[in-house]
A and B are shown apart, each in its own frame.
Chain A
Amino acid sequence: MADAVLNVTEMTNWAVDLIGVTKTYGNRVHALRGVNVQVGRGEIFGLLGPNGAGKSTLVKIMMTIVRPNDVLGTILGRPIGTRRKLAVTGYLPEMSHFPAYLTGIQVLDYYSRLSKVPRSLRQERSGRWLDRLGLAEWGGARVSKYSKGMLRRLGLAQSLMNDPELLILDEPTDGLDPMGRRLVRTLLTELKAEGKTIFLNSHMLSELEMVCDRVAILHEGLVARQGTIKELTEHTVQCQIVARGELESARVAVEACGGVMHDDKILVKGDDVRCVNKIIDALREKDCLIESVEPRRFSLEDVFVEAVKTGGRTSSSVGAKIM
């Protein structure tokens, strides 16, 4: 009976379904204040947020490294921290600091032993991933000789050793060169094609836009926005009209149609073509010359900055709410 119930929950669409995650460090640092995040199976999910927003804290809670004050929901259909599911979860920490006395191959072997990967698979996979991540020649060298980017690559290889269903990456491209970044992007797309779910944290907004299906913007321990990139950027579509002439005389008509005038530019929120045309009519009536009409879609960065601004912080301050 209980088994049947579990099987049903296991079949939910969400690979990660977190409800009301709260974490307070000590008594004062409110790192997470009721975060809800849902990640569909087989999708790439990006978690965005300024420094100290609580991204790593959320990921660490999923990996049982940090104990939440409160959490509901499931990962791969099981309560957070279920060991069987940790065995099929890959994790790349924010910083990886491998024991200096191990070689690259030994690192992969050691950590996958802890993940209960059988020996035959360990050998085969470590060769494959070292090769794939460009470390083929370095496998036998001690990690104390690795550069920062090489350590990052090794960390990624490590996270893939148990052939995870769910891959949780804390800033995977941090410290990588442009080639490395591209490599990671292609790798992620390939993994997604294999049906794996990927959850990643990043500051690299442009990169997220390239690979993520859905994103959430975390700010001061709360999810400020969540949705597909299209959804998030949609309602910020604008149309910009540049014109010459007596613009002031058309102001009333322009504003009636929802346009906002800035010097020689008029911005129209949304993508309603009729509004734009009405404004053009009004301008032409006053003999203004239309120079250009261009739709402008806001980038994820604009959404991000706006979400953070409306959160009420100055752009330079960081960290969780301290009360």
Chain B
Amino acid sequence: MQIWALIQDSFRDAIDRKIFWIMILVSVAIAGAMGCISFDDRGVDVMFGMWQFESANWSMGGEELRGNVGAIVVHILADLYLGWVGMILALVSTAGMIPAFLERGRVDLVLSKPMSREALFMGKYLGAMVFMLLQATVFVLLSFLVMGFRWGLWLPGYLWLIPLIVLMFSYLYGFSALFGVMTRSATSSLLLTLLAWIVIWTPQKTYEFLVTFEAQVDPDRVWQKRVETLRWMVPKTQDIAHIAGNLIDASLMTDVIGPDDETMDEEDRMSPEMARSAERRLADVNPYLSIGSSLAFECALLGVTLAIFRRRDY
């Protein structure tokens, strides 16, 4: 009952903030824009007949065209929310929650209630997750329904984005909560969180670089192994995009396009063989290992935050 009260409070806190509604508005606007595009036998129709594109010009049938446009759109949407745009919006809207909760005169009262500090903190933490779950659900579900009803493109795999967005957010929110407890300031905790994001992003990006240009810079894979160890220790934010991409692609293949014909890869101009294999290797993420080790990091971070929160005088 107490935890639920805390979660509900976070929820009220969230919907009282303008940015919450701005994010909802953005989701609605994106879904609306998608709704303005429709497909029929002849081709694509934008803005209810304002522009029409004949499918004959693309040398593919209406059905195939729809599948390809759909594939591009879902990948763009996934990148939007799992990339920095969506995450920064989410971090900005939640950065103030813990510092506000710890304000003088406000924290006093909750600490005097018959519940442990751990439970209090977890209630607040879960509150932020509920907030993100709500945002992600609105965003993903709206675009899912528009694709289904307007385009006739039902992609159940696309719904995996909802838990993945929450997961991605939780990796970063772990930092936000820690810095929120430490600094008790929304701005400082936001900036420090972004900094931490850069810090954990660096080994991941370096690793990607080393894998891609293996032959040129690191043929013995010495550096690659070292960076990989480092990469295993931090939350793997980059992997989530790969996992999402894999799930969406799987869904696209089984539900829409049919077996992969590898048309896209052949267009690689540089050294197609190598680029493809590097890309494959990077995308070939074991979700259990990646998510498990990242969650272990998040738990450790939570442990540190709780230890600080427990000792503090307010």
Q: Which A residues are closer than 8 A to B by beta carbons?
A: 25, 60, 63-67, 83-87, 89, 91, 93-102, 106, 110-111, 113-116, 158
Q: Which residues of B contact A95 (CB under 8 A)?
A: 104-105, 108
Which residue of B16, B116, B313 contacts A65 across the interface (Cβ within 8 Å)?
B313
Do B16 and A158 have beta carbons less than 8 Å apart? no
- Chain B's nearest CB lies how many Å from the CB of A221? 15
With A83-B116, A113-B1, A115-B113 already in contact, 17 other A-B pairs whose C-beta atoms are closer than 8 Å: A25-B313, A60-B314, A63-B108, A63-B111, A64-B111, A65-B107, A66-B313, A86-B112, A86-B114, A89-B112, A97-B104, A97-B106, A99-B12, A110-B9, A111-B113, A113-B5, A115-B114
CA distance A102 to B233 in the complex (A): 41
| B residues with CB within 8 A of A | 1-2, 5-6, 8-9, 12-13, 16, 100, 103-116, 311, 313-314
B residues in contact with A114, CB < 8 Å: 2, 5-6, 110, 113-115
The residue in chain A whose Cβ has the minimal distance to the Cβ of B115 is A114
- Give which listed residue, B1, B103, B113, B311, contacts A97 with CB less than 8 A: B103
A87 contacts across to B, CB distance below 8 A: 114
| Residues of the B chain whose Cβ atoms lie less than 8 Å from the Cβ of A97 | 103-106
Report the bound CA distance from A106 to B8 in whole Å. Answer: 11
Chain A residues within an 8 Å CB radius of B109: 91, 93, 96, 111, 158
* A116 x B13 contact (CB < 8 A): no
Residues of A within 8 A of B2 (CB): 113-114, 116
| Least Cβ–Cβ distance between B285 and chain A, in angstroms | 40
Report the separation of the CA atoms of residues A257 and B15 in the bound assembly, to the nearest whole angstrom.
Answer: 77
Contact A65 B9 (CB under 8 A): no
Q: Which of A83, A93, A115 lies in contact with B108, CB distance below 8 A?
A: A93
Residues of B within 8 A of A100 (CB): 16
Query: In the complex, what residues of A have CB within 8 A of residue B6's CB?
Result: 114
A-B contact pairs, 11 of them (CB 8 A): A63-B111, A64-B112, A65-B112, A67-B313, A83-B116, A86-B112, A97-B103, A101-B13, A106-B12, A114-B6, A116-B2
Pick from B100, B103, B111 the residue with the most CB of A within 10 Å: B111
**Are the C-beta atoms of B114 and A83 separated by less than 8 Å?**
yes
Asked if A99 and B115 make an inter-chain contact with CB atoms under 8 angstroms apart, the answer reads no
Q: Which residues of B contact A66 (CB under 8 A)?
A: 313-314
4 cross-chain pairs, A with B, having the tightest CB-CB distances, nearest first: A97-B105, A95-B105, A101-B16, A114-B113
C-alpha spacing A111/B105, complex, angstroms: 13
Which among A89, A106, A114 has the greatest number of chain B C-beta atoms within 10 A? A114
Inter-chain CA distance A100–B9, complex, in Å, is: 11
